[in-house]
Structure 1
């Protein structure tokens, strides 16, 4: 068997940290993820660098913040072959790179040849590494949307509920898992060849909120945590949230309906957990498990009814959408103190961590910091973590236009198109138990998570916090100075 450790990245889409049972959610059923605490670590305070898909993925696959290269919108992906990416790095360093599932990184009209040895999109079981126009898109039955549909208070909620089976919506994830299992089976026939880097990134629990049995019925509705109150009842919050809440039309929902939506989301998380268990069992079956470093995480979270809002938003940073699960099960030769850790961490730390574990040098400038030292017991990793989003006035290309009222995303995307302050630039910085958000065109926010874990009271104007706010602003200035750009590798002819 190869001396270099294998790597598995098993990635959820839109999974919030507090959706896991070992993070205190009594309704959640996640035994396989909980079991990582027996031989690895789970981060309580890990944050994505942008709370929507494309910017987050471009960040955690590179170790670069979204602002560094302008990846701040769903419509700006990695267009150039010279842009850094951990998949390319691992391939160039002798790993067999297998990419399965969601893309949201490379434009659909570009092949993935330089990034991986094999790519499976979940639609078919054909290797589409050299193909173009192969975006991962959930399958479903489309029909004409009527005015009555739009007026229904369920239309913008993303709620579906119980699925008949797993052969319709959600089938692509099962296909992805099958592709991963089949690859591990094939790899076992030649275990002494290249070490493998398996990047399996699926769609659950991304809305619509829907799941089949047995997971749908597993969730005890009486244990589902109470949701955060409507944003309409809170003061001094981002105008983006007020705009979305006013348009999603959920104001008259009963708590029972919200509980059912949240339970369905937890069922989707439980199905993800089950599929992760299938991957682990297959690795153990072929004696790969002990020599494999496993990372489980999500690109960002989901409001799931908190603040009367579903889905996510691109320039707000409440914990439901910015605080994500991050679990690491290291290979056997690493020293590890299994536990939940409170160390502050960022998803963009992943490339540096992977390089450290595999004893390789990344070929480009990046801003992540290896998490290996946290495995062995360190509880201090970073003094500050960051999440960012939004645009300046006039940046039409960042509005993500093209969705009308017949799209379930219309409440968010129509608000993003406003030239008011709604979709404008903001940066969240967390240090210790304080979260500060600086906003370019509207009121800043400060939350004391020790006193206010649900982030209900913006204390930015209170006199006792003014010295702390100045420390945040100094830290943010240093952050931007250090990470605003980087000089590309290589030199151009003059």
Structure 2
């Protein structure tokens, strides 16, 4: 599935540049941020001027998805370029990283980069067994206030967790930027992974009253009963009101938006620091989330399922000035389907390198490049379909069953393949062109059995290609 490197990258590989001539790279990731919770994506009251700035000066990929909508698996996929079934981190319940999986930070170090990790990993070990030029990270979910965070010293050794005053994403960003400002002879790569807007939501004190007067509207699917959806979906423990922090819907939405605004403040700090250090033109900036989030669709919250609110994420990318001349105009919105295994190959292409063969994604840069006059080269051909997988069952909190699925530009097939009931093989099928909100499940209708079979075959082919051959 890996793309062929475009001509520009091939030139770089043929005549390697000095490490100092390569761009700096910043990759930012939020936790549970939906694709449409940015003002540049049309949100009615949330203001995100700094995320918007990346989209305006770069690109907003409007069809970006995650292949396992859960914290730890998504972060492991970003760092390895591999699906969960291959990199080993299948869930949030302790599955560990495959030691043979490729590791993006190590690939960057081979290319001459200094690499830092700051923030939330959620993967067992907290990335502390890896090699970093700087580390400032916390265990598990972390605390919004008075967070416990461990920091590496000049010798690279990571010290004990200790408390810090302040709101967690402010604290982490300030430490990350102090490292960015240090003099260095090599380019840097910074992975800055925020806690926000993970529940239970605690905005920064400066935002506690923000959006108090905003009109919170329930989504169009609020009153949709999910008729026709299988029991595997309807039985999940993710209904609004089932947990204390979801009982007040308006307050929940406001706090979610306030936490995102806190992130946006810190994105602004990053962009301003790049400007102040006079390295903005030589730095690539990427912004994404580990998964989406239901916010009232079918009166549900959380993620995990393959439905659009859960799997669609923001993906913003501003490329260095030297690359921008070969791209579509700033502010463009590439519409090709891209997935989170694509992030590692993209970062490596930005760095002037090539992804290891074990990575399963393909760079998203070609979709932002100016198309040639003739036929599209293979790396610019849009992805026709992608595969989804979810493993965390049984799970004591949300009761979401194992599932796998396939999505094309028109169709989505979801397969609950191992339900603990008398019946087996529950399916959902949606025509995304006619039913983008996924209201009408067509899976059991006789007229669509041919489509179900075709998508089953496509999913089987993708699983074979990706090495997902286990029965579970």
Q: How does the TM-score come out when normalised to structure 2? A: 0.81
Aligned to 2:76: 58
Q: Deviations over 1:116-161 (max 9, x none)?
A: 2110126457326533876x9xx8xxxxxxxxxxxxxxxxxxxxxx
Do the aligned partners of residues 95 and 384 (structure 1) sit closer, same or farther apart at CA in structure 2, a change above 3 Å counting?
same
Do the aligned partners of residues 246 and 176 (structure 1) sit closer, same or farther apart at CA in structure 2, a change above 3 Å counting?
closer
Which residue, 322, 326, 335 being the options, matches 1:342? 335
Do the aligned partners of residues 383 and 246 (structure 1) sit closer, same or farther apart at CA in structure 2, a change above 3 Å counting?
closer
Contact 1:111 1:130 (8 Å CA) reproduced = no
Residue 2 (str. 1) matches residue 23 (str. 2): no
Contact 1:47 1:386 (8 Å CA) reproduced = no
Number of positions where the alignment pairs a residue of Structure 1 with one of Structure 2:
420
Give distance in 1, aligned partners of 2:363 and 2:229.
37
Do the aligned partners of residues 21 and 472 (structure 1) sit closer, same or farther apart at CA in structure 2, a change above 3 Å counting?
same
Which residue, 353, 362, 384 being the options, matches 1:360? 353
Aligned to 1:127: 152
Contact 1:106 1:112 (8 Å CA) reproduced = no
In the alignment, structure 2 segments of 5+ residues that lack a partner are 1-18, 139-147, 372-379, 418-423
Deviation at 1:100, TM superposition (A): 0.4
Do the aligned partners of residues 464 and 167 (structure 1) sit closer, same or farther apart at CA in structure 2, a change above 3 Å counting?
farther
Aligned to 1:269: 260
Give distance in 2, aligned partners of 1:457 and 1:437.
13
Deviation at 1:238, TM superposition (A): 5.0
* RMSD across aligned positions (CA): 2.9
Do the aligned partners of residues 2 and 69 (structure 1) sit closer, same or farther apart at CA in structure 2, a change above 3 Å counting?
closer
Contact 1:29 1:218 (8 Å CA) reproduced = no
Contact 1:20 1:30 (8 Å CA) reproduced = yes
Aligned to 1:433: 410
The worse-fitting range, judged by mean Cα deviation, of 477-486 and 20-29 is 477-486
Aligned to 1:118: 134
Residue 321 of structure 1 aligns to a residue in which SS?
A: helix
Residue 200 of structure 1 aligns to a residue in which SS?
A: strand
Give distance in 2, aligned partners of 1:124 and 1:473.
45
Contact 1:113 1:130 (8 Å CA) reproduced = no
Give distance in 1, aligned partners of 2:225 and 2:219.
17
Contact 2:111 2:351 (8 Å CA) reproduced = no
Contact 1:58 1:77 (8 Å CA) reproduced = no
Give distance in 1, aligned partners of 2:277 and 2:170.
21
Give distance in 2, aligned partners of 1:388 and 1:347.
13
Q: Deviations over 1:420-447 (max 9, x none)?
A: xx523x1122111322212213421112
In the alignment, structure 1 segments of 5+ residues that lack a partner are 140-165, 392-397, 402-409, 416-421, 487-494
Give distance in 2, aligned partners of 1:289 and 1:77.
38
Give distance in 2, aligned partners of 1:264 and 1:94.
41
Residue 337 of structure 2 aligns to a residue in which SS?
A: strand
Q: Deviations over 1:336-380 (max 9, x none)?
A: 223122210001101111122222133441210111111125685
* 1:107-256 equivalences in 2 (<5 Å): 107-108=125-126, 111-114=128-131, 116-121=132-137, 123-124=148-149, 126-127=151-152, 130-131=157-158, 171-186=167-182, 189-190=183-184, 193-212=185-204, 214-219=206-211, 221-222=214-215, 224=217, 226=219, 228-229=221-222, 232-245=225-238, 249=242
Give distance in 2, aligned partners of 1:447 and 1:28.
30
Aligned to 2:9: none
Deviation at 1:61, TM superposition (A): 1.2
Give distance in 2, aligned partners of 1:224 and 1:457.
23
Q: How does the TM-score come out when normalised to structure 1? A: 0.77
Aligned to 1:333: 322
